[in-house]
A = this chain, B = another copy of it.
Amino acid sequence: MRVHLDCFPCFLKQSIISLRLGTKDELLQKRILKSILPEIQRADISKPPAYTTTFIHRKIRQLLGRDPFKEIKSEYNQVALGLYPSLKTVIEKSPDPLWTATRLAIAGNVIDFGIFTPHQNFGAGVDVEGTIRRALNNPLAVDDYSTFRDAISDADRVLYLTDNAGEIVFDRLLIETLVSIGKKVMAVVKGSPVINDSTVEDAVESGLTEVCEVIDNGSDAVGTVLEWTSSTFQETFKEAQLVIGKGQGNFETLTGAEKKIFFLFQSKCDVVSKELGLSTGSMLLKKS
């Protein structure tokens, strides 16, 4: 997908979320917001919006002098870890643990802890478990589970591209399920901070590093912009038998890649949803 007209205001809305997390100084917020307008003007509209978003958030971090998501990412890892024991039990008691763990991994993307889906606000007193229950009960708008199950069955190795902090605990649950049925999983995080995406710190904090090998992709891009990843990651990706890509960012950037990828995500914006012919907020398990 390419930059759509409606992506332009959204670039600014996402920037404002970052700026409000990064500083309480309203003049600085406005000054930085103005400074990223030239990045938007340079937006390559032949590329996915994730390219421009990457430049924008790189500039925001540079001008703030820090990663505005650092604290909130850790906070959300802790919230998700608090849910881990009960979710683990749900999976273990399920007649089809792979199905339940997969649905939970998508639910983890659905909640994304309110950062980029403002109607989902995971503050104090919010019904996290109710949201997960609803995410589990609502049908998938695109459901390639039977193909996914067969592909998993045929594969020895799985390359798992994580998305956000917090959500990474849900990824851990699915990866543990894959490991329990004999799959060798390699999980991938970002090479350096970008929005609320998982980095090595989050993999450690979520306990994922104790479950499988975790590598970083050498990039600070939203999603997976292959040309910007490290040569090591590119080699790993090239050799992968089967890829699981979490989140809309990975769908945006990898949807044309020549690789067997299963995308697990919620379509969070109107532009992507419209391209998919779905309503915004739809949950998908979609084969590339």
Interface residue ranges, A against B (CB under 8 Å): 3, 5-6, 8-10, 12-13, 16, 19-20, 26, 29-30, 33-34, 37-38, 40-41, 43, 45
Contacts and interface: CB of A to CB of B under 8 A. Distances in A.
A12 B8 contact: yes
Given A9-B10, A12-B9, A12-B12, A34 B30 contact: no
B8 A16 contact: yes
Instruction: Report, nearest first, the 4 A-B pairs whose CB atoms are least far apart.
Output: A9-B12, A9-B9, A37-B41, A9-B13
A41 B36 CA distance: 9
Contacts of A3: 30
Contacts of A6: 16
Contacts of A45: 30
A34 B26 contact: no
Contacts of A13: 9
How many of these chains are in the complex? 2
Given A9-B9, A9-B12, A16-B8, A34 B29 contact: no
Nearest to A6: B16
A26 B45 CA distance: 11
Contact of A40 (B5, B19, B37): B37
A3 B12 CA distance: 15
Contact of A5 (B5, B8, B16, B43): B16
Of A3, A6, A8, A13, chain B has the most CB atoms within 10 Å of the CB of A8
A33 B12 contact: no
15 contacts: A5-B20, A5-B26, A5-B29, A8-B16, A8-B33, A9-B9, A9-B10, A9-B13, A9-B16, A34-B41, A34-B43, A37-B38, A37-B40, A37-B41, A38-B41
A8 to B, nearest CB: 5
